[in-house]
Homo-oligomer: A and B are copies of this chain.
């Protein structure tokens, strides 16, 4: 069925090594030889078996793409970018969906069995320890949307979540709100924790402003909706910092159902700036994450790791900015309250 190197060698009347060499960049082959081999290969429709070659070269060009965020539309954008970035560099993404089980040992074994060259963990909810396990198993790993650390065990590419928390706090205050609140994602996620820390630290400077805190059970519409309903029943704040866009959209829906006008009666700012935030019927004011940069930087980092085995763990942190849309009242009306 499949045509092999041997077939090409026979047809071209040369040795197998000669064929192998014409297909490996930088090998020593004369032009005459190369032409002969290429013709034979073309005639037979040969293309080298990447897996067989990996056996000797030790490189499969397979990259594990592992995530557990398969319910947040934001991550479709991320998967799109990752798969394309990897493909553009001649790497192939081997997808690992961790939604069901979360036994890291298992995940590592799967990746080992397929001798992936590296793993990119794309998740804001998997714990840092998860990425580390790959590293301990000797697999190069970069954790995109992971938490940076002063003692990094693993390469991390992320936004500055603490600064985002502060930025959200400052933004709400600049709008003149006097009772604001943090409506975070799951408390177990480092992204939630850091955004919380930043938000708290900024609000601490302004004791005259009432602040409250709560958390949605996960990064999803339903969790945001549910939590906001609870808050509305209990007596809501004037404006919220939502855990992420999808939580914020859930919260927004709850506000509207409750008969509140946004941004007149109540406001919210999200985080991510996913495509959907721009949709005219959502029009969410939010903090933009530069995912193109995060992804391309992650993949660049990964390619460096492939050549430069034990590089010192590095954190690449990108900054974010507020995107003004329609869910927070404008600055100049601040005095109206």
**Residues of chain A at the chain B interface (Cβ within 8 Å):** 1-2, 47-52, 54-55, 60, 62, 65, 70-71, 73, 75-76, 79-80, 83-84, 87, 92-97, 99-100, 109-110, 112-115, 138, 221, 225, 249-250, 252-254, 256-257, 275-276, 279-282
Contacts and interface: CB of A to CB of B under 8 A. Distances in A.
A327 to B, nearest CB: 12
Given A1-B138, A112-B2, A79 B70 contact: yes
Given A84-B100, A257-B280, A281-B281, 15 more contacts: A47-B112, A49-B113, A49-B115, A50-B114, A51-B51, A51-B55, A62-B114, A70-B76, A70-B79, A87-B97, A92-B94, A221-B276, A225-B280, A249-B279, A253-B281
A325 B50 CA distance: 51
B94 A93 contact: yes
Contacts of A221: 275-276, 279
A99 B50 CA distance: 23
Copies of the protein in its oligomer: 2
Contacts of A254: 280
A78 B244 CA distance: 23
Nearest to A229: B280
**Best-surrounded residue of A54, A87, A250, A276 (most CB of chain B within 10 A):** A87
Contacts of A73: 73, 76, 276
B79 A79 contact: yes
Task: List 4 A-B pairs, minimum CB-CB distance, nearest first.
Answer: A70-B80, A253-B281, A83-B97, A73-B73
A114 to B, nearest CB: 6
A70 B115 CA distance: 27
A62 to B, nearest CB: 8
A223 to B, nearest CB: 12
8 contacts: A48-B113, A70-B83, A76-B76, A249-B279, A250-B279, A252-B281, A257-B281, A281-B282
Contacts of A70: 76, 79-80, 83
B280 A253 contact: yes
